[in-house]
Amino acid sequence: MPETLDSDFLAVYEKESDWAEGHGISQRTAARYRALGLPFLTFGGWIWIPKHEGREWIASRVKRRNPRRQRRQAIPASLNIIAPRAPP
């Protein structure tokens, strides 16, 4: 990596290989994510991922499980409720 890069640029962007390693994925997976819409910049022959937008994009991909359904519980016998009978 050239040493002439602006520190402000490095504060906002991260090299794709470093970004992938930081997120525990391979560089190939990061390339697939780029194809799926991960924001990136090609500059100086390297691919740079914006730190903030990349984090937001990953967070938007997280799927959350639906809450568990409530089970119906039997009516306690202490309530002494009698269901109406159907007419004969």
The CATH number of 7-61 is which of 1.10.10, 1.10.150, 3.40.50, 2.60.40? 1.10.10
pTM here is 0.64
Buried b (16+ CB within 10 A) or exposed e, 44-64: eeebbbbeeebeebeeeeeee
Alpha helices by DSSP H, listed for the chain, are: 7-12, 16-22, 27-36, 51-61
Q: Structure tokens of 3?
A: 């040493």
C-alpha–C-alpha distance, residues 12 and 40, integer Å: 12
pLDDT range class, residue 41, cuts 50, 70, 90:
very high
Provide the pLDDT for residue 29. 94
pLDDT 10s digits, 50-84: 999 999 998 898 888 888 877 777 767 677 767 67
Of 39, 44, 13, 16, the C-alpha closest to 29 is: 16
